Structures are given as structure tokens and as C-alpha cells.
Amino acid sequence: MKKICLYLILLFFVFPVTATTPLPTHNYYGGRIYFKNTSSHDQYWEIDLIDDPRGGFYFDRICIEKNDVIRHNHTFRVLIADADKFDRDAVDPNKHFTEIRIYDMDTGTLLREFHAGDKVFEKISGNIENEDCVWEADITDARLAGSN
């Protein structure tokens, strides 16, 4: 009797639900960005974004205290039908800003400016498919002084 009840439950409840689950309509690209502060300054970033970020960054300011690590999801949702037209280079977070100004949060002093084309974000691992990529932005005292 228990087996019959189990089969009836599967037949009337589980199978119809799985049969009506919609097929995926989007591919996801990108991954995660880790903002690290290993410098001797509490940092305040102002980020001038490109005009059409199409995903990725949704903020233009960030505060990072000493020894902080902040994770940001950097995701692009693309229709499956448009996946072959999607510019995969757009996933690179270095292509999403025109300028980044980093200030000392305690004094307000400008510590460093990065401009479009500067490589602030380093790819650590993964690829952009399935949100598997990991980037890191670690602004050390050496980078604040101007060496990369």
C-alpha cells in the first residue's frame, strides 16, 4: 500500500511540476570581484563608470578599510539567442570605468587616480562562462605610490 501511495504522489505531484519547469532563457557570464585593501590607508573609491555598463558594476563609490575584503558579484545576463553576439571582452571589469580616484578616508587626501586602460583588476582564476571568473583589486601602498 505504501508503494502505491508513493507512486500516486510521484505521478500526480512531482512529475507534473518537473514537466512544467521552463527551459532556461539566459546565459550568465562574469563572476566575482574581490576588493582588497592591504595598504596602510582606509580607502574611499570614486568610480566614474562608462556610459553603458550592461551589467557588472552597479555602484560608483566604495569604502574599504585596512585589511578589508569586499566581494562583488559581476554578472551579465544574456539571452541565449543573443549569446553569439555578446562581446565577452565586456566582462573584464577594467573596461567598466573611465576613472577611479582613491582617497584616504581619514584625511580626504587623493592617494591615486587610475584612468581607462589601467589594469586595476587582475584575473585570478576561472573563465567568464557560467559566472566562474574571479578578479581581484588589491590596492597596496606600492600601487598607491604609482608602481603596478
- Per domain, the residue ranges of the chain are 24-144
Backbone phi, then psi, for 92, in 5-degree steps?
A: -60, 115
pTM assigned to the model: 0.77
The pLDDT profile of the chain, 148 residues, written as one tens digit per residue, is: 666 666 666 556 655 555 566 777 888 888 899 999 999 999 999 999 887 666 666 778 999 999 999 998 888 888 888 888 888 888 888 888 899 999 999 999 999 999 998 999 999 998 887 778 899 999 899 988 876 5
DSSP assignment letter at 129: B
Backbone phi, then psi, for 113, in 5-degree steps?
A: -120, 135
**Helix (H) or strand (E) run with residue 2 in it:** helix 2-9
Distance, C-alpha 138 to centroid of its chain: 15
